[in-house]
Structures are given as C-alpha cells and as structure tokens.
Amino acid sequence: MRFGLPSPLSALSSVAGGAATFLRRTSRRAGQRARRSAIAMPLDTGGFLGASAAAWISTSPSLLPRTWWMWAVNIGLSEVYGYATGTLAGRLVRRTMRAVGLEVDIAPDHRRRARWAGAAALVAISAHSWVRGVLRQREISHLVQQEPKNLATHVVGTAGGIGFSLAALVATRATIATADLYRALLRPYLPARVVGAVSLVLTGATVVVVADRLIRGRVLEAMIERADAANRLISPDVPRPTSPLRSGGPESLETWQSLGAPGRKIVAAGADPELIARTVGRPALEPIRVYAAKSSSRSLEETADAVVAELDRTGAWDREALVLFTGTGTGWLQEWSLSAIEFLTAGNCATASIQYSYYPSPLSYLVDRRSPQLAGKLLLRAVKRRMAQLPEDRRPRLYVAGESLGAFGGNAAFRDVPEMLRSVDGAVWTGTPRFTPLWEQIVARSRPGSPAVAPIIDDGRHIRMVTRPRDLHRDYWGGMYAPWEHPRVVYAQHPSDPVVWFDPSLLWREPTWLQERAGHDVTPAMRWFPWITFWQIAADMPLSIRAAGGHGHSYHQEMVPIWAAVLGQDVPEAERDAQRRHHRAIVAAIREINPGA
C-alpha cells in the first residue's frame, strides 16, 4: 500500500471548500439573527393605529352571517391592510414634519397620561365596535332566516383574525429581513446601483419558490386529488337507473361509471310519472334525463355529440320541451330547477347536460375559465345542428339554463341579447356571476333609475331580473312591466347573493348596489370600505349555497314560479292564488323526493 502527500491543488480545493462552508454557515446564522431581530421589533405606532381602525371597520355587516373563520378572514386581512396603510401614512407624516422643520415634544408626565388615555380609548372603541358587529350579525341572521351564531363563534373568530394578522406581520418582516441580508451579502461585490435591484429579484424569487411549494405543491394539488376522488366515487346510496330514458341506464350509450359522481346523482334523481301525475292532477310521462362527461379519451366537442346521440336514443325530440343545462365546475345541476320543469310540463320534457370538469367552481374559474364557456357553446351548437335536420313540427321548444359558473358558461353561447332571443325559446339563469360578459352587457342597457339589484331591461318585454317571485309580474318598486313577450329570459339574483355581487373593483370603488341600500334581505347598515368590503364579500361566498332557500346563493322553491313564467304558463290575476297553491304542491313534492332540499 502506498501513501503520498496531498498535492497543492487538492489542498487549495479543500481550503476553499472549508471557507465556502464557513461562509454559508456564517451567512445563515447572520440571516437568522437578522430575521429574529427584525421580527421582534416593536409595532409601528402608525401601523398599530391603522390596524386597530381597520379591525373596527371589519366588524361591520356584509351579506350573510359569519362563521368563526369568516370573522378570522375579515379581521385578519383588514388588519394587514390597516397596518400597511398606517405605517406608510406615519412615515409620510414624519417626513413632512422634518421637511418643514416641525417638531413635537411632549413632557414625560403628559406623555404617560396620553398613553393611558389612548389605551383606554382604543379598548373602549374596540369593545363598542365588536359588540355592535355581533348585534349586526344577529340582524343579518334574521334577514336571511338563519339561527344567529353563538357568542363563541365571534370570540374564536376574533382571536383567529388577530393571530392571522400577527402571522402576516411576521412573514412580512421576515421577507424584509431576507432582502436586507441579500443586500449585505451583495454589497462588497456589486455596484451600489445594482445591489438594490438584484436583492429585490432574489427576494422575489425566494417568496415565489416558497409560495409555489406551499400553494401549488400542497394546497392546489390536494384540492385536485380530492376533486378527482370525489368524482370517481360510486356511492351505494345512488342507485343506477333502471329506465332506458336515463343516461347510464339500460340501453344507454354512456356507461354508469363514465358519468362522474354529479352525473350519476342527476340521472338517478327526479320524480316518477305517478308522483308527477298525482301532484299536477293530469296524466304524466316519464321525464328524460341525458348526461355525458368529458374524459381523457374524448374531447368536449365529442362529449356534446354524445349528448345528442343520447337525445336521439331516448326520443327526446318528440317531447314538448328540451332544456340544456350548463353545470357548475363539478358538473352539478340544481335539482330544484330540473324537477320544476318536469312537474310543470307533466314529464313531457327532456333535460341534457355535459360535465366539462370535476373541479369545484372556484378552482375551475381559476385554472380553466375557458371550459364552462366552451361547454355552453358546443352543447347548444350540437343540439341546434341536430334540430335543424328535423321537420319543424317535430322540434321541441328549446330552453337553456345554468346556475353560478353554469350561468357564466351558458351565457357564453351567445354574442349578444338578440342572438339569445333568436336561438332559444327561453332561458333561466340563477346566481349569475358579475363577471359574465353578457350579463354586464344587459345591465348596461337597464332603465336609468331602476335598482341595481333588479335592473329593468326594455320594460321587461323579454328579460326580467328578479330577486323573488313577485318580481316576475311587477318590478322591484312595484311598477308595471310592458306585456311579457316570448322568448322569455329570467335572471334570478338575490340581493344577499355574494356570487352575484363579488367583483375585483370592490377593492377601490363603491358599487351602485351598495350606494342604493336596496335589497330586502340585506341590512341597510352595510357600507363600502376600500379593500375591506372586497374581503367581506369574498368570505361570504363559500358558504352562500348553504343559506336558506330564497337567500344567498340558494335558489330553491322560487324556481317553480320562475320556470312556470318562462314556459308561458300565465293565468289571469284573479287566478294567481290558485296557481300559487298549485306551485306550493309542486314544491312539497320536490321536497318529498329530495329530503335534503
């Protein structure tokens, strides 16, 4: 065995490696010390006052009663905004005072008294705003017909919001400390003009990497995995249809497994012809329900063609009415709307839809906003193409419908209002998001002076925006419409539905609907505040579908009179009471077959 002395090159390499390791450890320790010292710094006085004022405002009412986490989101994000604004304002005031040579000095004994007085005022105002906020929450609960939340909900939510804002402050200070560390490390090697820009880029890259790993790598992927698992789940509580008039049933061209969980629930639900006949008092047919889901083996256009094939197979063209639904992100359709059509037509109808995604609607909107629009266009186009091949006397009346993201996608099938009125015999859009282009186009044509929650379009000749069933026959203020002509289009939108009223412009501009204080289920105490109102409405959205029917994003029993109006089932005013009793019987039957409704 031979032993040799290390070469000068290897010795130099070893020394350099050791020096690099030492520098890395030293810089890491220095960075940790810098971050700890930066995080432990006292709160900025202006920032603290700004955060306190924002927290007071955040307890103001919004559209729906708050759960503990809604309280936490509102308070936490408001305090972050308030602290940042207060800090910037404080620095601006101090710079201005230095520029004009103004200096304020308070005697020590007066300073102590001022601190105690200020602390007492902060505590008193905080307690008053919090108690007032709790009482407003009770008022909102009564307006939307919910049980008020208990006191623990508000306490836990407040504590959570304060904790969230402190965590955001720690993260912000850690980011600033990281930028300072990069500047200190780069200063000996780069020109002074370049150091700031390079350190900013490095800090931004660090934040992006951390956020990507946290949000996309963990949160987003977990949401996608859960959505995929939920879509593939075949529940034993959802029986496969035994009727050939349902997709997934006997003779169907679509397999039961291929429909996805929402599709399987849709084709398995609904009333049988006996219940329909008993409820409406006349013979009934078995309704047709057709559904198909996009998959890796076929495109969205091929899926729309599969729906047409199912309509051919089931004889849907011989029915009185055919309704094309655009679903939400998961492919869900509102059972209230489906069943209302089936009862009102005595089963002489067919409904059809496609699943374009299995993501929840918020996720679909963020990662794939094009698919719902494409689904609405392709399904209508495929059906219209097939109907053009039929004799005119064999064509059913064609209607379109959708709720929430489904309304967004369904509206995309039309360039403008004249095209919609030319293409279909009627439409029902519920909870249409504010960012829907056609909805914005229609609202821009509304009569000056009409309420923002229910604008009047061309005196209601074809399009009526309703907040409750009585708006079908008179406008929101009780005035008369022009005679309702066919085709008829209804946009149903509750004043308390945050999905309808949420808009990025809430960050900087007060919307008209808040300026007017109009809305039968919205407290007139609601006010607009920059940044804060945006997050209040955003926090209202996730649970808005759990609100009582007729409020929030829950469109339930009102779908019966809405569809009756769109289908043209008008009666003289003297017979309206009898019609309402008939509709109540249908509502009771729908509740019977859907206990969860």
- What pLDDT score does 107 carry? 76
Asked if 191 and 37 count as a contact pair (C-beta separation under 8 A), the reply is no
Q: What is the pLDDT of residue 4?
A: 42
pLDDT value at residue 28: 55
State the pLDDT at residue 596. 66
- For residue 26, the model assigns a pLDDT of 46
Structure confidence at residue 517 (pLDDT): 83
| pLDDT for the residue numbered 328 | 92
Tens of pLDDT, residues 136-183? 999 999 999 999 999 999 999 999 999 999 998 888 888 888 878 888
Query: Which class for 326: exposed (0-12), middle (13-18), buried (19 or more C-beta within 10 A)?
Result: buried
3-state secondary structure of 134: helix
Which among 531, 591, 596 is positioned nearest to 271, based on CA atoms?
Answer: 591
- Model pLDDT, residue 201: 83
Low-confidence residues in the chain, pLDDT < 50: 1-20, 22-24, 26-27
Burial 154-165 (b: 16+ CB within 10 A, else e): beebbebbbebb
DSSP category for residue 374:
H
The 10s digit of each residue's pLDDT in 53-101 is 999 999 999 999 999 999 999 999 999 999 999 999 988 988 888 888 8
Other beta carbons less than 10 A from residue 246's beta carbon: 26
pLDDT at position 21 is 52
**For residues 322 and 288, what is the distance between their CA atoms, to the nearest angstrom?**
9
CA 138 vs CA 74, 375, 393, 473, 487: distances in Å: 17, 41, 56, 32, 42
Looking only at the bridges linking them, the beta strands covering 321-326 and 349-355 are parallel
- What per-residue confidence (pLDDT) applies to 103? 80
